[in-house]
């Protein structure tokens, strides 16, 4: 009589994480791993007798037919029934392990497989089939994002039988547990040992990107990103992160080429378009500052065709007219703001007035010329101190004559300091120099950040990473930056790269359209005068 046909394994499924630049990771289905293995069984044919209803050969024929039809529920019932009649037949145990796996009853499959391995301790086929059940269970834990740790499960599968599937899932579970260097080594090994399985390269690329994101040394981070890109230039994550790396190094033209390529290849991934926008706006801002306005405008026209009606592109185009054509600048600034949904223009938090002494005047306010227009700074305030006659100080042409120069600046809300720069010199009024502005940025709840600008050189008393409380002193007012013009504090709040309209607390209006004896919240206007009532 013919021996039963050996059982061929089907493939298993799982997940892999795809990386994104501004906000976290998403999970996507990993195509089924192309792993097949023939069961090596030595099956002795046992004839039917008075004690058996069916021959072993008949059972094997049924099992082959059921598994060929992928009717694994029936195959499980048949194999369990056959084992009662032929308990010494290893092949029926193997069919049962396989069927448990394919019906998804993995816990039962593992327990059954352990008993089968105890019964047939030298069986390579039992170990191999049981290893696939462990791999499928590790995949299930990852797919369903269960609290259980899949790594010990994947490790046991690999211990039982090292193959393309068990090694792959061992690497995926290492990566899930944050053991990225070990995962990288596993995927590198698997890529070489199993060249027909593409998911080793896929997971290697994403592991390198994750390592780059966690690396604190910028040079090492860039090196990991470059390695990921060279590993697979067609990979979505590698493509976008290599573009971001180029952008970070001011290689804007190369970055834009990659982002445009990604927009065409992955139209559902918004991060390619967003990063193309920032590459264009950062590049043209540098060109405009350097006086190459014509080139900046041409690039922004190119960007406008790629990203039509983008408020950030239009805002950058407005900047090319700043202090060159006031009417054109204002018109473009208002156009950019009109393209932003109204709810995105309002602050989520209220903020304390960051100056606390004397009479505080709004030199410029919401969406008011000369400089406060558009989505970049339109809802910011220039704050100064004035005397009882509303004069800025004893004189104009010396910074020290201004009452606000050297005044304490206070945190407007609880938060954490994320940026500090105070190395630029303070310039005299109306004698701007091409220096960077001294500033502090504090992050707050709701994704908002407050900016304190034109600070006095060397006056910052907080460092990056420092938690601060509302009202805490952080620096002093200066006259730094190329557009300082005179000593003042520029204060604004940003959310999602848009300057938002805020309401002040901690001060009362003492003159203006709406006098108040209460500490806000309110939104002052140009020329309004406030007095701190914060305690």
Which tens digit of pLDDT belongs to each residue from 118-140? 999 999 999 999 999 999 999 99
- Express each pLDDT in 452-495 by its tens digit: 999 999 999 999 999 999 999 999 999 999 878 899 999 999 99
Residue 436 in any domain: the answer is yes
Lowest mean pLDDT segment, chosen from 77-81, 405-409, 527-531: 527-531
Q: Is residue 1 assigned to a domain? A: no
Residues 351 and 328 in one domain: no
Residue 200 lies in a domain: no
Same domain, 524 and 437: yes
State the residue range of the domain holding 330. 212-342
Q: What's residue 54's pLDDT?
A: 86
Residue 5 inside a domain? The answer is: no
Same domain, 332 and 381: no
Whole-model pTM: value is 0.75
Task: Check if the beta carbon of residue 471 is closer than 8 Å to that of residue 485.
Answer: no
The reply to whether 187 falls in a domain is: no
User: Does one domain contain both 390 and 464?
Assistant: yes
Task: Note the pLDDT tens digit of each residue in 495-535.
Answer: 999 999 999 988 888 876 544 555 668 898 899 999 888 65
Q: Give the CA distances from residue 237 to residues 176, 268, 372, in Å, rounded to whole numbers and listed in that order.
A: 17, 13, 38
Cα gap 142→489, rounded to integer Å:
51
Residues 372, 518: one domain? yes
Alpha-carbon gap, residue 134 to 173, rounded angstroms: 12
* Whether residues 349 and 325 fall in one domain: no
Compute the average pLDDT of residues 146-170: 96
Same-domain status, 354 and 463: yes
Last residue of a domain, one of 342, 362, 386: 342
Same domain, 133 and 241: no
Whether residue 192 lies inside any domain: the answer is no
Residue 26 has pLDDT above 60, yes or no: no
CATH of the domain at 479: 2.70.70.10
| Residues 323 and 225 placed together within one structural domain of the fold | yes
Domains in the chain: how many in total? 3
**Model confidence over 240-272: pLDDT tens digits?**
999 999 999 999 999 999 999 999 999 999 999
| pLDDT of 40 | 34
Gap between the Cα atoms of 67 and 7, Å rounded: 9
Last residue of a domain, one of 342, 365, 387: 342
Residue 506 belongs to some domain of the structure = yes
**Per-residue pLDDT averaged across 65-78, rounded?**
97
Instruction: Give the bridge partners for 522, in sequence order.
Output: 504
Read off the tokens for 193. Answer: 């040992």
508: β partners: 531
Query: The domain spanning residue 70 has which CATH number?
Result: 1.25.40.10
Do 47 and 149 have their domain in common?
yes
Q: Which residue has the higher pLDDT, 4 or 278?
A: 278
φ and ψ of 395, to 5 deg: -160, 180
Q: Are residues 305 and 362 in the same domain?
A: no
Q: Quote the percentage of the chain above a pLDDT of 90.
A: 79
- Taking the CA atoms of 184, 188, 191 and 194 in sequence, report the sign of the dihedral they define: negative
Residue 535: its pLDDT value, please? 57
């Amino acid at each position: 009589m013919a021996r039963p046909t050996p059982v061929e394994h089907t493939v298993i499924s799982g997940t892999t994480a795809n990386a994104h630049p501004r906000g976290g990771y998403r999970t996507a289905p990993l195509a089924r791993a192309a792993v097949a293995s023939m069961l090596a069984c030595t099956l002795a044919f046992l004839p039917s007798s008075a004690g058996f209803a069916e021959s072993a050969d008949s059972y094997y024929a049924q099992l082959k037919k059921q598994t060929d039809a992928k009717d694994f529920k029936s195959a499980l019932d048949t194999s369990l029934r056959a084992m009662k009649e032929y308990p010494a037949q290893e092949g029926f145990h193997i069919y049962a392990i396989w069927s448990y796996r394919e019906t998804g009853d993995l816990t039962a499959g593992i327990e059954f497989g352990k008993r089968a391995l105890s019964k047939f301790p030298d069986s390579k086929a039992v170990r191999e089939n049981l290893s696939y059940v462990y791999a499928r269970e590790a995949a299930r834990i990852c797919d369903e994002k269960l609290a259980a740790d899949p790594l010990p499960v994947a490790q046991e599968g690999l211990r039982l039988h090292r193959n393309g599937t068990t090694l792959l899932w061992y690497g995926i579970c290492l990566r899930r547990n944050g053991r990225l260097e070990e995962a990288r080594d596993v995927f590198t090994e698997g890529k070489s040992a199993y060249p027909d399985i593409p998911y080793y390269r896929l997971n290697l690329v994403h592991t390198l990107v994750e390592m780059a994101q966690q690396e604190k040394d910028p040079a090492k981070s860039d090196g990991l990103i470059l390695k990921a890109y060279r590993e697979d230039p067609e990979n979505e994550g590698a493509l976008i992160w290599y573009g971001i790396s180029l952008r970070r190094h001011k290689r804007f033209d190369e970055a834009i080429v990659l982002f445009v390529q990604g927009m065409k290849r992955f139209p559902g991934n918004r991060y390619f378009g967003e990063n193309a926008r920032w590459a264009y706006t950062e590049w043209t801002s540098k060109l405009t500052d350097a006086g190459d306005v014509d080139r900046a405008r041409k690039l922004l026209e190119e960007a406008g065709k790629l990203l039509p009606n983008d408020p950030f592109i239009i805002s950058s185009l407005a900047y090319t007219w700043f202090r060159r054509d006031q009417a054109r600048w204002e018109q473009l600034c208002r156009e950019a703001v009109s393209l932003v949904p109204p709810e995105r223009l309002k602050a989520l938090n209220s903020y304390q007035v960051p100056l606390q002494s004397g009479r505080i005047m709004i030199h410029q306010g919401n969406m008011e010329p000369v400089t406060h227009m558009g989505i970049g700074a339109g809802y910011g305030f220039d704050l100064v101190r004035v005397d009882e006659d509303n004069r800025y100080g004893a004189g104009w042409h010396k910074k020290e004559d201004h009452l606000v120069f050297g005044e304490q600046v206070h945190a407007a809300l609880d938060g954490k300091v994320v940026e500090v720069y105070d190395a630029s010199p303070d310039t005299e009024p109306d004698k701007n120099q091409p220096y960077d502005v001294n500033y502090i940025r504090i992050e707050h709840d709701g994704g908002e950040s407050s900016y304190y600008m034109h600070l006095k050189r060397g006056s910052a008393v907080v460092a990056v990473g420092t938690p601060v409380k509302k009202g805490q002193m952080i620096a002093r007012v200066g006259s730094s930056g190329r557009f300082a013009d005179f000593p003042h504090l520029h204060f604004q709040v940003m959310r999602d790269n848009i300057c938002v309209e805020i309401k002040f607390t901690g001060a009362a209006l003492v003159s203006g359209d709406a006098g108040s004896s209460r500490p806000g919240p309110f939104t002052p206007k140009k020329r309004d005068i406030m007095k701190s009532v914060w305690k």
